[in-house]
Structure 1
Amino acid sequence: MNQSELRELLSSEGLRLLDSLPAWRSSDEIVRTVSELRKAGHSAALVAAVLSQSKLRAKATSKFGPFADRMLYTEAGLEQATRLSVASQHAGRFATAGVKWVADLGCGIGADALAIAGLGLTVTAVERDETTAAIASYNLAPWSNAHVVHGDAESTDLTGIDGVYLDPARRDARVRLTNPADWTPTLDFAFELAERYPTGIKLGPGIDRDLIPKQAEAQWVSVGREVVELGLWFGAVAREGIRRSALVIGEHGTAEMTAAADSADEAAGELGQYLFEPDGAVIRARLIGDLARQLEGRMLDTSIAYFSADTAAVSPFATCFEIVADFPLDRRSLKRELATRKIGTLEIKKRGVDIDPATFRTSLSLKGENSATLILTRVAGKRRALLAQRPALSPSPTV
């Protein structure tokens, strides 16, 4: 979004027109909508601006729920914004720690600042991009305890601040920056603040674990089985005795596994009747061993994140599959077996084998009315194809 588009959008005509539009459904209707709005006397620039926002609001519903329809966005800002369900967890840490005034350095469109202000804390939200700062100002306008500053995080006056949250920019013109020294602010700057303030730092979940300070609480977060971030927490916003955490948010609500360190691996053993696929947050946090022991399981292979058990269980931290058949991983024999079983719809999962699931599925020439899951992996070092189904599980036992 450029400045001229923003001016169109923030005009009284622009905001009224945006709020009057029906919910965005499909780009198939765009030509007709543009024609109707132009016939009504709206300029081409204004129509383009409000339709772009209408589309972004529709996308934002998955992150912001009912708040989505009263916020404004940039495309990059929405993509990088914290989901409200996760931002509320961040804000809750500062509130629990007794922090009164938080500096959100690199606030983007204001998602985390919104959650912090919503808990009654004072928040100063700092954003270096002028357009994004203006968007954040609009989004935070309903909260008198939130103030947006267009400026640089590393030169912000922190007088009176008693807590800091940072989301370093890790892209430049949509190119991912792999060197933490190139981030804005830099990771070293963030760590320096963490020595002086209760501090939270949002990072990508795949960051090099060697960069995680020993004194930090590292929390990997997944939403709907997608790992969305790694949060590093320091000082009063870190919890005593916890250095590893997997926070899982989904239809079940919120669940968390915690530990003082990476968990010890569970020994490998025979394939049982059930296979468990741990949530990505559990895998990233290296708590698979703890989860396997809780579910009385054993690893399929010491280098693979799947584990097996003799009993099914419901867990927010793993998906359970019932093993129907165990085959060598051979495409021709699998093709015959699937044809015999009339399997036409096949979900393919894989770990520990170099296979492209989409290409492999095409090569099987599937036909039939039945469906199944095919898990391609290694069991005791051997390549196997496990035909599976999701069992009908009762609500208990739950771990």
Structure 2
Amino acid sequence: MAALSDVDAALASGENSVAVGARLRKHGGSPERVAALLTQAELRRRARGKFGALAERLLFTQAGLEQATRAPVAALHAERFRDAGCRTVADLGCGIGAESLAMLGAGLSVRAVELDPFTARLAEHNLTVAAAIHGAAGNALASPAVRIGDAEALGSALRASAPPAIAPRPEGDAARPPWSLDGVDGVFLDPARRTSGHRDTRRLAAPEDYSPSLTFAFGLAERFPTGVKLGPGLDRELIPDDAEAQWVSADGQLVETGLWFGSVARPGVRRSALVLRGDETAELTAAGDAPDPGHGPLGEFLYEPDGAVIRARLIGLLAERIGARTVSDGIAYLSGERLVRTPFAQAFRIVEQLPAREKELRRALVARDVGVLEIKKRGADVDPAALRKRLRLRGSQSATLFLTRVSGRHVALLAERA
């Protein structure tokens, strides 16, 4: 840890990683040790986007960081359990501990479990840091020890109220408080959706290959207040009828689908789109999918709904709120005559409609001195990157181009951000 702090400081001062590595090797550092230090320093740098300044005190694996929940989103998860009256939550499959960190921050006690021993050791370090920050280190119920074992085995034991049959912890545990699942009153699962390993993992296609499996997760949800974090592209047919499904986007990126059961699900809410931009949070909620809005003529303004709104199928609710309509059946763009500011969509003013044929489109863009072109598309079979390259624009102006359908007809709309 001391060596890692020195590496962090050297890189922060402007020294490049090659020079830092050479100096470490000159002073006797093995290639493996130097590589580990430099890799960890780089992971810490990348982790600031998810964990903020706390990243400078945490430890990561590449795969663990990629799959970790962003700190503001994890904090909202923890608040659900706290607001539901839960005091001790089992974090089954905790990874590097992102969710458990947030639970400690919310004043909850955590029972963290991780299958991979190396990842579990890093998670325990991270939870120890958080426990010290939040004053929980001396609280036996808030002990940051991370159990090594299979989450499904532990969950089965939890359901049976029997001691968990899982692997022993590393040596040195004799002084730690004994593990007990008595008093656990909430469960959180973030099933691994990639192959095992610390880096270069691949995505799993079948939900039953997740670890823990969805069948197991949904079984626990029948007995405990339960949260299940899944990918934003989750097949909606897999969502149980009694779940609150919440799609979350952070700074324009769709990051997760959260399924909530029991007292951590909100009464009357079955669909939710949660949008986080910086420190601001906005949410659309409904008792179910919103009816699709009608379509009509193109107005002066075009709205691109946030991905969370689209996945939650709440476009109709958004359209009603901003007085807009779809531009064509099955197209997730909205249009209206007036500008309404909303956190749930980006707004553009339509400048003019251009020819949709590529050669004519290029001539029109060249005539307007466009050089930097942002291309957005829905309902159009085109690769924006390839089209941009073929257009060979060299002008001095920037613009946004929408390739879509209006009343079923392919169009090219030149627009500017409102």
Q: Same fold (TM over 0.5)?
A: yes
Residue 252 of structure 1, CA deviation: 5.9
CA contact (8 A) 1:23 1:58 kept: no
In structure 1, the residue matched to 2:168 is none
In structure 1, the residue matched to 2:148 is 150
Pairs within 5 Å for 1:311-322:
311-322=338-349
Match of 1:263 among 290, 308, 322: 290
In structure 1, the residue matched to 2:172 is none
Residue 169 of structure 1, CA deviation: 0.9
3-state SS in 1 of match to 2:364: helix
Residue 297 of structure 1, CA deviation: 0.4
Match of 2:119 among 112, 124, 132: 132
Deviations 1:107-148 (A, max 9, x none): 000000000011111001100001100110110013131331
In structure 1, the residue matched to 2:176 is none
3-state SS in 2 of match to 1:171: coil
Task: Tell me, in whole angstroms, the C-alpha distance in 2 between the residues paired with 1:375 and 1:57.
Answer: 38
Q: Which residue identity does 1:258 align to in structure 2? A: T
1:38 aligns with 2:30: no
Task: Tell me, in whole angstroms, the C-alpha distance in 1 between the residues paired with 2:330 and 2:96.
Answer: 40
1:357 aligns with 2:357: no
CA contact (8 A) 1:264 1:289 kept: yes
Task: Tell me, in whole angstroms, the C-alpha distance in 2 between the residues paired with 1:293 and 1:76.
Answer: 41
Q: Which residue identity does 1:72 align to in structure 2? A: L
1:346 aligns with 2:373: yes
Deviations 1:335-374 (A, max 9, x none): 1111111011110000011100011111212121111000
CA contact (8 A) 1:24 1:55 kept: no
Residue 43 of structure 1, CA deviation: 2.9
Q: Which residue identity does 1:138 align to in structure 2? A: H
CA contact (8 A) 2:10 2:20 kept: no
Task: Tell me, in whole angstroms, the C-alpha distance in 1 between the residues paired with 2:355 and 2:335.
Answer: 18
Q: Which residue identity does 2:60 align to in structure 1? A: Y
CA contact (8 A) 2:92 2:112 kept: yes
Q: Which residue identity does 1:22 align to in structure 2? A: L
Residue 15 of structure 1, CA deviation: 4.4
Match of 2:327 among 296, 300, 309: 300
Q: Which moved more, 1:57-66 or 1:33-42?
A: 33-42
CA contact (8 A) 1:203 1:230 kept: yes
Pairs within 5 Å for 1:20-35:
20-23=9-12, 29-35=16-22
Residue 18 of structure 1, CA deviation: 4.5
Gaps of 5+ in 1: 1-11, 392-399
Match of 1:245 among 269, 272, 275: 272
The two structures, once aligned, show a CA RMSD in angstroms of 1.5
Task: Tell me, in whole angstroms, the C-alpha distance in 1 between the residues paired with 2:324 and 2:101.
Answer: 42
In structure 2, the residue matched to 1:91 is 78
3-state SS in 2 of match to 1:366: coil
In structure 2, the residue matched to 1:192 is 219
Task: Tell me, in whole angstroms, the C-alpha distance in 2 between the residues paired with 1:132 and 1:25.
Answer: 30
Paired residues in the alignment total 378
Task: Tell me, in whole angstroms, the C-alpha distance in 1 between the residues paired with 2:4 and 2:357.
Answer: 59
How does the TM-score come out when normalised to structure 1? 0.92
Q: Which residue identity does 1:264 align to in structure 2? A: P
In structure 1, the residue matched to 2:171 is none
Deviations 1:218-253 (A, max 9, x none): 000000111000000000000000000000001361
Deviating above 6 A after TM superposition, structure 1's stretches of 4 or more consecutive aligned residues are none
Residue 171 of structure 1, CA deviation: 1.2
CA contact (8 A) 1:275 1:322 kept: yes
Change (3 A) 1:112 1:252: closer
Gaps of 5+ in 2: 132-136, 159-180
Pairs within 5 Å for 1:40-119:
40-119=27-106
Aligned residues: percent identity?
Answer: 54
Task: Tell me, in whole angstroms, the C-alpha distance in 2 between the residues paired with 1:278 and 1:169.
Answer: 29
Task: Tell me, in whole angstroms, the C-alpha distance in 2 between the residues paired with 1:135 and 1:369.
Answer: 50
CA contact (8 A) 1:136 1:148 kept: yes
1:384 aligns with 2:411: yes
